[in-house]
Structure 1
Amino acid sequence: MVAMATTHAHSWLVCDAGGTNCSFALVEQTDRTFDVVARARYDSQTITDFAITMAEARKTLLQQSDFRSISGACVSAAGPVHDGTVKLTNTSWSIDERELSQGLETGVRIINDLTAIGYALPLVNLSDGGECVSVWEPASGGFGTRPRRNEASVQAVAAAGTGLGVAIVCEAHPDSLTVLPSEGGHTDLVGFDAETRQFQHFVESAIRNSPDAELYVSGQGLKHAAAFIMADGGFRDGPAQELRTADPADYPALVSRYASDSPDAARAMRLFAKMYGRFVSGLALTVLPYAGLFLAGGVTARNLEAIMSSGFLEGYFSHPHEGMQSALRRVPVYALRNYDVSLIGAAHAAYLSMEA
């Protein structure tokens, strides 16, 4: 939908900045509705000055819309943000809030990419299958409903992609939102049954150290799961035997490709899903996100059906204490399907910054 410039609408310039691409967008906000109305993408490796590129993107995006100016801006960056600055991996440049604000002559905020997803969570339409799908529904709730207000103040997101990211969201009321940054993806994660304990020992031997959760629940996790199955004699026949001669960096894509055709690839995916579920259960018990725990990230999106149909819930409900399983059953779990979630979250963050 193309935005019509009215006194009731805001237009936010946002960017999802990564080491490979920088995706810019103009987001129209009307009341509590945020819609992407124009887009522009730049190769991060061709950017020499991010401030100049963002100014160019603003001009391009405004020309594609009915807006003539922006209300503010926000950059969602794949990296730690310190004092309004961030340095992206694999780039020669950094991003600075003050420099951007001066160049754009408007308020600019820089936030971590997981923080941006956190700002989007309260806006997710739980009954829209295009935005999210239900992974686990509490018996007392039902898909598409939110818990009672006194239990709806906390949400969380776990994003399995190249790495593993976590964010926690606390919402007192619609215009009072706090997103807590986290390095939860680097906490400990251990096996819980014979297979996952063997997997844990395999990864420990491979890296000669104690693995953190990211080494199990990310693209690296799929790579390690495939290597574990291969060391156990897997991938010797069938279409997935391609893994035996492939570069280990290609294991995640090959496991995804063959998960429905190869028992060994399916076993690797199931092992990954079990560890994913176990990690998410720990996050759920830590913050009790009764308003929803969301799965995100590129690895999740590419393998969602396989993850949901294999061992995720087995890992999620693997806690030995019945009382803790009862708590887990009260947490609704969803998987995000809206690929604009970081852009929408960045726009929401920009709006809340203006209102503060």
Structure 2
Amino acid sequence: MWNLIADVGGTNMRLAAVNAEGDILERARYDTKGTLNLEQACADFAAHRGSAPGRAVIAAAGVVRDGSVQLTNADQSFSERGIAVALGIERAKVLNDFEAAAWSLATVAEGDVTVLQGQAVFPREPCLIVGPGTGLGVGALVWANGEPCVIPGEGGHVALGPRTPEEVPIFEALREEWPEVGMGPGLVVEAEAILSGTGLPYFYRAVAKSMDLTAPLGTGAEIFEAAKARLDTAAIRAVELFVQYLAGVAGDLGLVFAAKGGVFISGGVAAANPWIFDEAFVAAFNAGGRHTSWRQELPLHLYHQPNFGLIGARNYLTAR
């Protein structure tokens, strides 16, 4: 007997067969934008193995509603029912990618992290994962009677606003540039409007406007590159604020979940720009006023496990 796990993103669909103990027996990769959709790829993978799996768990980069998902970065959708029918099994499970990321923390190991604060030890305490990528993913893992349980959510859409008078013109410009992300009548915006590869170009243009500068850069990658090389004043300022806001959100949510098992920073933006996780990031994470010392007790890690989707799907399957 074998089970099917998969990690489906905008570019690749990675499928794997695992045994009852969670050991990977075989892997395959399909093009997300290729000739086969996920349900067909599952059927093809099972046909290659010569039998149907016992169960199937799929991690998908999109919002899951009633067992169905539309991928964020690909014109493809699928459902638990469709996967089960394609495989000829009773049922399948679809997890949001950051729900799966949180599940992966149940088996996190020292080699998966760069320690920013604390030590590479992982007690069975609440854990939080925050991931700036195309969007801003958030998930939490807690332990109940020694067993892991994940709390999915939309923490990437909490509110961010100016913290100093100098930042007010930036948020005024951002809300003018992208009014849909405004929250209420004031100046606050959803965190993803800044802390994501999608939001950063809008934020960069708002920073440039507030400084009466041009904004020639078009993508998040270009902005980070220019900031690192100190070639563009608005990019430098935008990334400085990005670091402070990301650290603040991670610290705030770490406080909410009492994440003594660790706060883990992941996602495509983090993986591509490890240089931003410096002393300034840690200081901003710990800037908690009366609770600064409490935040300093939270382990803080840069999480660089590239297979967290597959691992999370496997851990969910094993636990459930």
Specify the TM-score bucket, using the shorter chain as the normaliser.
Answer: 0.7 to 0.9
Q: CA deviation at 1:159?
A: 1.1
Q: CA deviation at 1:297?
A: 0.9
* Residues 53 and 87, structure 2, Cα contact 8 Å, conserved in 1: no
* Residues 73 and 108, structure 1, Cα contact 8 Å, conserved in 2: yes
Q: Residue 146 of structure 1 aligns with which residue?
A: 122
Partner of residue 223 from structure 2, selected from 233, 243, 255: 255
Alignment partner of 1:45 is 2:33:
yes
Partner of residue 172 from structure 1, selected from 130, 144, 164: 144
Q: CA deviation at 1:234?
A: 5.1
Alignment partner of 1:300 is 2:270:
yes
1:191/1:278 CA distance change after superposition, 3 Å: farther
Indicate the SS of the match to 1:283: helix
Alignment partner of 1:340 is 2:310:
no
Q: Cα deviation per residue 1:217-254 (whole Å; 9 max; x = unaligned)?
A: 1113431343244332557xxxxxxx62x4x3x2x111
Q: Cα deviation per residue 1:236-287 (whole Å; 9 max; x = unaligned)?
A: xxxxxxx62x4x3x2x111222333215343332221111111112211211
Q: CA deviation at 1:112?
A: 0.9
1:172/1:84 CA distance change after superposition, 3 Å: same
TM-score w.r.t. length of structure 1: 0.77
RMSD: 2.7
Alignment partner of 1:317 is 2:305:
no
Unaligned residue ranges in structure 1 (runs of 5+): 1-9, 138-142, 236-242
* Residues 278 and 316, structure 1, Cα contact 8 Å, conserved in 2: yes
Indicate the SS of the match to 1:166: strand
Q: Which stretches of structure 1, 4 residues or more, deviate above 6 A after TM superposition?
A: none
TM-score w.r.t. length of structure 2: 0.85
Inter-partner Cα distance in structure 1 for 2:299 and 2:66: 35
1:99/1:155 CA distance change after superposition, 3 Å: same
1:83/1:99 CA distance change after superposition, 3 Å: same
Count of equivalent residues: 309
1:108/1:201 CA distance change after superposition, 3 Å: same
Q: Residue 134 of structure 1 aligns with which residue?
A: 115
Q: Which amino acid aligns with 1:202?
A: A
Inter-partner Cα distance in structure 1 for 2:25 and 2:207: 45
Indicate the SS of the match to 1:219: coil
1:311/1:270 CA distance change after superposition, 3 Å: farther
1:92/1:272 CA distance change after superposition, 3 Å: closer
Alignment partner of 1:14 is 2:2:
no
Q: Which amino acid aligns with 1:153?
A: E
* Residues 52 and 87, structure 2, Cα contact 8 Å, conserved in 1: no
* Residues 109 and 350, structure 1, Cα contact 8 Å, conserved in 2: no
Q: Cα deviation per residue 1:318-342 (whole Å; 9 max; x = unaligned)?
A: 33x22x2122112111111011011
Inter-partner Cα distance in structure 1 for 2:170 and 2:46: 48
Q: What percentage of aligned pairs have identical amino acids?
A: 26
Alignment partner of 1:157 is 2:125:
no
Q: CA deviation at 1:214?
A: 0.5
Inter-partner Cα distance in structure 2 for 1:35 and 1:260: 40
Inter-partner Cα distance in structure 2 for 1:333 and 1:220: 25
Q: Cα deviation per residue 1:287-333 (whole Å; 9 max; x = unaligned)?
A: 1111111111111111122x2126422432333x22x2122112111
Unaligned residue ranges in structure 2 (runs of 5+): 184-188
Q: Residue 201 of structure 1 aligns with which residue?
A: 172
* Residues 12 and 31, structure 2, Cα contact 8 Å, conserved in 1: yes
Inter-partner Cα distance in structure 2 for 1:219 and 1:93: 21
